[in-house]
Structure formats: C-alpha cells, structure tokens
Amino acid sequence: MSTNFAAGSFQATHSPSSITITRPDDWHLHLRDGNMLGMTVPATARTFHRAVIMPNLVPPVTTVELALAYRERIMAAVPTDMTFDPRMALYLTQDTTAETVRAAAQESHVIGFKLYPAGATTNSAAGVRSVADMAPVLEVMQEEGVPLLVHGEVTEPEIDIFDREKVFIDRYLQPITEKFPRLKVVLEHITTKDAADFVAAAHDGVAATLTPQHILMNRNDLLVGGVHVHNYCLPVLKRRTHQEALQKAAMSGNPKFFLGTDSAPHVREKKETACGCAGCFSAFTAIELYAQAFAAGNALDKLEGFASHFGADFYGIPRNQDTITLHAETWQAPTIVEHGGETWVPYWAGRDIHWRVAV
C-alpha cells in the first residue's frame, strides 16, 4: 500500500487491514459558536473524547465564567448517542490578572491559557502585544500549575512569514522556558524543523501539537498551480524539509509530540474570497488522515501513543478507557458540508482516504 502526497511521497511497504486504538483526544480545536456548533461538535465527538477548545471567539473567552458558559453551549450540541468532554482554554491578554489565573487553576473544565500574539491569526486582535510584559502572569501560572498554550509566531511585518515561527522561538519561547522551568508549555501546531528540534531539546514540561495538514502537506500544496485556499492555514505550510521533520517527530514515539488538529472552519463564501480566512476544517476526516500518514510512514504502531496517550499524560489526565477501530478502506472525503443554510469545504475535500473509522 502506498500513499502519495501532492508535493512528494513516502512509501509504506506493509500495514495491517485494521487497527484498534484507545479513543483519541484532540488537544487543539476550533468549534466556533452559535449555529455552527450543531455541525462542528458532532464532527469531532464522533471519534474524539476530549478536545481543547480554542478561545478566539468575538468577544474572546477571557474568564472562567465565559469559558463555562461557552462549554454549556458546546455540550448542548453533543448528540445523545455521543460522549464529549471539552476542556476550555482561556484567552491570554495584556490585561489577564493573577486572580483570573488562580480562578482557572481551580476549575477542572479549564485546561490553560492560550497566547496569541496580537494579529497572528483569526480573531487575535485582542492578543498579547508584549510577551516580555507577561512575566508576572506567567509566574503565577507556573505557581498554580496552569499550562501555557502558544501560537508561536511573531507578527512584525518585516519578518518573512516563513520565518515567523523560528523567530518567535528564539526571541520569546526559549527565554520563557528558561525563566519558568516548571511552567508547562505547549507549542501549538508546529510547522518547522526548528520547532520540532526546540521541543525535543527543551525540558520535560515543553510539548507540541501537530496537525494533519502540516504532516501531509507542504507549501507546494498551497501555491503550485494557483493558490489553494482550503489548504491555507496559519502558521502557513512550510517547505518539504520541514514537513519531513514534522513527520519524523509525530512518528518518533516521543511523548512530547501529540495530536492537535487545529480544525478551523470558515464558511465557503468567506474562505473563497480575498479575506483568505486561515484554517483547515479537518474534523470530518482527521483521525483517518493521521492513520493514512502513519501507515505511509510505516509507523501505525506509533499512532496510539501520538493520538491517544501522550496528550493525556502531559496534561495529567487519565487516558480514555474505550477504543476506536480503523479499517484499511478507501473512501472519498466529502466535497462540501452543509448545515443551517451555510456551506463549508472540509480539508482533503473529494480526495481518497485509505482508512476509515468503523461505525
């Protein structure tokens, strides 16, 4: 069996006809809000038991009270035949207080704070303007055992977009991990060899999530033959050498690297305009695409750790007790998804997928 990717390929010499793994979790997810929850929540809950819910709504989810209210809206959208346990991230701002951190530490449904540099991605205008000035809050987070989840990019216009992750690591993240050695840090949706190497070498409290699009694609898949808007995400896809480094990290069995889809839906009419709208909506195909990548890398035996064990272990949460089974079966990802009078184009739309979750 072989899997070919648009900008290159790596070959699998063998794989089983099915694989059963502990039910996975998604440690980085955008569900949005309102009407969209009726579509996004079931799409994730069909395979993932827990998910870390990103707080970049408008207005942002900055307090425990707002997070719990958002969680109630999410739980109202969970189908009666599914179970789902959303863990809420709070939006870190320049005005976040020590009291808010301590309140978050006491709430089991809140998992940490998300650092968005202001202007780095969708709905990040309220994000952190000066990382250096956050030191007092980070000190309290370290004391209270509250993890820091990081969108690791600088936003200065003079920095090349393909270099922004590395510059952020060198300028900000390395000093943070040195100054706060007991602070748990997750570098989200890593996209470069630089990020993979940094996480691997950092102290044990530093980890990273990896998305399906950054494992399966590189910037050729975004730019060759025209701009492919449904492959556009932030941080942007990088060159093939970085993609290969991410594949190696994900399939290494290193518990510092675990699954986070960064599934991020935008309605078709906004995604296919000059707006761009960064985000790949992978919830309908995510675990199947991870399985496809791991099978192609002769690493299916590493999928369970990456998808189901390492994230829970890092956050100190018990592993799930139930399982899912994937079969080696070719099917086609949906070309569109419709809900409530709106339309989305999911990631991998209309393309073959070679693994499918048993129903």
293 is known to lie in a ligand binding site: no
Give residue 238's region: left, alpha or beta (phi > 0; psi -120 to 50).
beta
32 is known to lie in a ligand binding site: yes
Residues 309 and 50 sit within 8 Å (Cβ to Cβ): no
262 is known to lie in a ligand binding site: yes
Task: State the virtual CA torsion across 149, 255, 53, 271 in degrees, nearest 10.
Answer: 90
Residues 28 and 189 sit within 8 Å (Cβ to Cβ): yes
234 is known to lie in a ligand binding site: yes
Strand order across the beta sheet in which 85-92 lies? 26-29, 50-53, 85-92, 110-115, 148-150, 185-187, 206-210, 257-259
Is residue 163 annotated as a catalytic residue, yes or no? no
Query: What are the distances in angstroms from CA 254 to CA 170, 195, 233?
Result: 22, 14, 25
14 is known to lie in a ligand binding site: no
31 is known to lie in a ligand binding site: yes
What 3-state DSSP class applies to 350? coil
Structure tokens, 157? 């216009």
Strand positions, DSSP E, the chain: 2-5, 8-11, 18-22, 26-29, 50-53, 85-92, 110-115, 148-150, 185-187, 206-210, 257-259, 323-332, 337-339, 342-344, 352-357
At 342, which amino acid appears? E
266 is known to lie in a ligand binding site: yes
Find the length of the chain.
359
289 is known to lie in a ligand binding site: no
Considering 197, 262, 301, 313, which one is annotated as catalytic? 262
Centre a 10 Å sphere on the Cβ of residue 8 and count the other Cβ atoms it contains: 13
Binding positions for substrate:
30-32, 56, 151, 234, 266, 278
Binding positions:
28, 30-32, 56, 114, 151, 189, 234, 262, 266, 278
Binding positions for Zn(2+):
28, 30, 114, 151, 189, 262
As annotated, the active-site residues are 262
